[in-house]
Structure 1
Amino acid sequence: MTLAPSPRLPAFALFGAMLAAAGLPLYMHAPKFFVDQYGVSLAALGAVLFGLRLFDVVQDPLLGKLAAKLRAQRGTSVALAVGTMAIGMVGLFAVTAPIAPLWWFAIMLTLVFTAFSYLTICFYAQGVAVASGIGEQGHLKLARWRETGALLGICAAAAAPVLLGGYTGFALAFVILAITAVLAMGREWQGRDVPQSGLGVVFGDPVARRLLLVALANSAPVAVSSTLFLFFVEDRLGLPGWEGPFLLLFFLFAAFAAPFWSRAAERFGTRPVLIFGMILSIAAFAYALMLGTGDLVPFAVICAASGIALGADMTLLPALFAKRMEEISPGAAEGFSLWSFVSKMTLAIAAVALLPLLETSGYVPGQVNDQAALWTLSLLYGAVPCVLKLVAIALLVSTPSAAIQTPSTPLNKRRLT
């Protein structure tokens, strides 16, 4: 029998960087570009983004089923999806809108979001299929490369419009990166044929359900801080114009820390290392409650510390879930469609729940606000994530020990209750 070649981990890092470059940076660049280029109102763009995000959440389980059905043609389907995403990026930033700009914005983003979701599901499911070829702690080793690449991709995409002389250069650079990533991943989409188990198996497994709940509680603080970040920097700290540098600092520290979290988990066990990262995140968010106007350096420290903690979240939690999928649902496409659903749902819930609360307090973005409104903003930005992180820690601590593989304790393959 011929053994499958070992996965080329740098190819996974490159593909992760390409995917990430079309993720969060799109929320940073696209609205600003359409406001500056076409004069579209922020309120209209925000409504479109929220509607598309809800659609994106709903379609994820369906895309998971599609990814499972196309397992034998995964390389081809991925190439088509990457091409679709590249068309959407060029349409957004390098093509003059041929119809009403708001409609063009919605159509191009739909292409990007749908392709992004499908590719994310395929990419993480493929990681389950190939991790066994990496050796002991294969899921952690793969996650180390994949998530470090993704975080570096976010950093590069965040700075690209400035470095490349505008958004057209950003779009064309993305096309080049997409082509390179598809070529690099070439044979990595091949793998053993595994039976598809469906969503029922994932929902029916108590450990998988618990890990999904941990992911929900643990991603919610990021959703909260992402929703309120611009308001906090501009109005609570009084530092307009510093949003970009703070974000870049945050993601650079996350990228720097990700490999170290993975290696620590290999040595000390995934659960204790992940809990330590969550505690660091709580400390950072709690410190944010103490900040006021002009606190540039303290907030930079918070961005660095919370970025380091994010490196643990992005690397270790997906590795845990991937390991569980290897045990109960080797195809993993349906499982990671639920994983994607959970992370995106938190963004939608955060926007719906927090912004009305902020408005009720009397807060008005970009205006002079009283201390009560600013304190509400601080509480929502700093205290709510702390509570949610504590919930995530409690869920993770109560997860059956056999579900958390450590270097010294092999995963128990008996039925977990």
Structure 2
Amino acid sequence: MASIPYFASRATGARRTDATRADGARLLAFGSLAIPIAGAGLPLMLFVPQLYATHYGLSLAAIGLVFFIGRFWDVASDPIVGALSDRTHSRFGRRRPWIAAGGMLFGLGSALLFFPPGTVSPLYLGAVLFLFYSGWTMIEIPFSAWAGELSGDYHERTRIVTYQATMRSLGLLLVLILPTLLEQVRPADIALKLHVVGGFILATLLPALALTLFAFPEQPAPQKHLPRPRFWQTATLIFRDRLLLRVLASDAAVTAGQSIRAGLIVFFAVNYMGLPAWASGLYLLQFVFGVFAGPIWLAIGKRHGKRRTAIAGELTQAAINIALLAVFPGMLWLLIALAAAQGLTQGSGNLMLRAMVADVADAHELETGHNRTGLFFSVFSLASKTGPALGIGIALPLVAWFGFAPKGHSSPAALEGLKYVFALGPALAHVVAAALIWRFPLDEAAHRDIRRALDARSTR
């Protein structure tokens, strides 16, 4: 994006405009759809491949290929749904029809995936994953875009996203707790774990879908008589938007750091610390404290703004990860304390960056005349999916290069290499994420000017 003149008109000393605060109960209802959506992702990776391989006899190669194709479709469909939802015109709004249709597909896909028939084939798994991922995308992208459009106020947007993030953390926590409890009774019954998690997703999906769809009215998009650019013209505009690219790159770095920690935490607990009984507990502990992270960082964000808060959160996470270098076998208390601290900072950067996307979409609309909020959130989703691939793709080969072997004997030097990658890999990623938005120009004053210009344009 070219230099935008309204960033210079900061209106320093101007009074902050009062925001229309949405009722907290309504925001809880609106954000409740994040519970089944977030809760579905973890068991999809943890239990589905294991069950379909051991119980139904599918080869690991076939499962891997099907998941690869399914994930590719998931990534490819994000911008398609984002662009189409931006262009939807109906008396029900732009986002609501997509979420309703996506909810039906997601529910059907979840039922077939988590409650498979007596015999399955790779074709069955592929067809089910197609339904599952299609429904997921049709919910997730319009859901995020609608949240960004509920309010034009700088801080109120952060508050709305915080409610969504808290519901996501709650969904992840619940799907971690349920299998953990089942392990105490029937540890080897993978099918039961899959059925219980699937039942949880289906039981929460229908009421959450109704609550989200009717929590707030959605006005139909205004009819604009502007030339509609072709797909490649739109793609060029997106990837020339320097504000968006900085947010995307920062979020990719954030999620890369998170994926390194998630991918190595079990190895660190079992192989370095010698604490196999704590392998799942540490991860669960982090999510328990993560439920409280959203309100904490919302309060900080209201006081200091999104950019400063995101930077503070990322640097705090970097410091916590660096502190892991002081952890040695036998120091369980310090490891627990750092896991709890990690939970309290969890998602701080993701939260602020997600709230920034709607602000950047406003700047884009002012410059181009087109509202592409859905498309912007779809591209943001792509960055969030790229980060974990980068993190795991770098971390696992690196610890293997140090000589670490998950099974069998690893030398003291290899274990030290594991520790350094586990500590410094996420720390470096979080520092990079902070550096990318260090001088991000779209603050509260600049966004206020943008909203005023957009409001003035809409009344012409």
TM-score range, shorter chain: 0.7 to 0.9
Range 274-283 or range 108-117, more displaced: 108-117
Q: In the TM superposition, what are the counterparts of 1:15-414 in structure 2 within 5 Å?
A: 15-34=33-52, 37-38=55-56, 45=63, 49-50=67-68, 52-70=70-88, 72=90, 74-96=95-117, 98-100=119-121, 104-132=124-152, 137-162=155-180, 166-187=193-214, 188=216, 190-194=218-222, 198-329=234-365, 330-400=371-441, 403-405=442-444, 411-413=448-450
Q: 1:86/1:315 Cα in 2 relative to 1: closer, same or farther (>3 Å)?
A: same
> Is the Cα–Cα contact under 8 Å of residues 251 and 387 in structure 2 kept in the other structure?
no
Q: 1:150/1:116 Cα in 2 relative to 1: closer, same or farther (>3 Å)?
A: same
Amino acid at match of 2:29: A
Q: Which has the larger radius of gyration?
A: 2
Q: 1:326/1:12 Cα in 2 relative to 1: closer, same or farther (>3 Å)?
A: farther
Q: 1:313/1:29 Cα in 2 relative to 1: closer, same or farther (>3 Å)?
A: farther
Q: Find the aligned partners of 1:383 and 1:5 in 2 and give their Cα distance.
A: 40
Q: 1:307/1:129 Cα in 2 relative to 1: closer, same or farther (>3 Å)?
A: same
> Is the Cα–Cα contact under 8 Å of residues 129 and 191 in structure 1 kept in the other structure?
no
Q: Find the aligned partners of 2:340 and 2:200 in 1 and give their Cα distance.
A: 28
Structure 1 gaps of 5+ residues are none
Q: 1:222/1:355 Cα in 2 relative to 1: closer, same or farther (>3 Å)?
A: same
- Give the deviation of 1:211 after TM superposition: 1.5
- Give the deviation of 1:44 after TM superposition: 6.5
SS of 1:289's equivalent in the other structure is helix
Q: Find the aligned partners of 1:216 and 1:159 in 2 and give their Cα distance.
A: 28
Amino acid at match of 1:343: S
Range 345-354 or range 138-147, more displaced: 345-354
Q: Find the aligned partners of 1:40 and 1:243 in 2 and give their Cα distance.
A: 28
- Give the deviation of 1:55 after TM superposition: 4.2
> Is the Cα–Cα contact under 8 Å of residues 48 and 106 in structure 1 kept in the other structure?
yes
Q: 1:122/1:282 Cα in 2 relative to 1: closer, same or farther (>3 Å)?
A: same
Q: Find the aligned partners of 1:301 and 1:42 in 2 and give their Cα distance.
A: 38
Q: Find the aligned partners of 2:331 and 2:253 in 1 and give their Cα distance.
A: 29
Q: 1:239/1:111 Cα in 2 relative to 1: closer, same or farther (>3 Å)?
A: farther
> Is the Cα–Cα contact under 8 Å of residues 251 and 350 in structure 2 kept in the other structure?
no
- Give the deviation of 1:171 after TM superposition: 1.2
Cα offsets for 1:385-416 (capped at 9, x unmatched): 2112111111111222xx0227xx7544399x
Cα offsets for 1:4-60 (capped at 9, x unmatched): 996721122201222211123432333444455346676765565455434433332
> Is the Cα–Cα contact under 8 Å of residues 33 and 93 in structure 1 kept in the other structure?
no
TM-score normalised by structure 1 residue count: 0.86
Q: Find the aligned partners of 1:367 and 1:45 in 2 and give their Cα distance.
A: 27
Tell me the equivalent position of 2:10: none
> Is the Cα–Cα contact under 8 Å of residues 199 and 335 in structure 1 kept in the other structure?
no
Q: 1:151/1:177 Cα in 2 relative to 1: closer, same or farther (>3 Å)?
A: same
> Is the Cα–Cα contact under 8 Å of residues 255 and 311 in structure 1 kept in the other structure?
no
Q: Find the aligned partners of 2:404 and 2:60 in 1 and give their Cα distance.
A: 17
Q: 1:158/1:45 Cα in 2 relative to 1: closer, same or farther (>3 Å)?
A: farther
- Give the deviation of 1:321 after TM superposition: 1.6
Q: Find the aligned partners of 1:322 and 1:25 in 2 and give their Cα distance.
A: 30
Q: 1:294/1:31 Cα in 2 relative to 1: closer, same or farther (>3 Å)?
A: farther
> Is the Cα–Cα contact under 8 Å of residues 52 and 110 in structure 1 kept in the other structure?
yes
TM-score normalised by structure 2 residue count: 0.79
Structure 2 gaps of 5+ residues are 1-19, 183-191, 366-370, 454-460
Range 114-123 or range 27-36, more displaced: 27-36
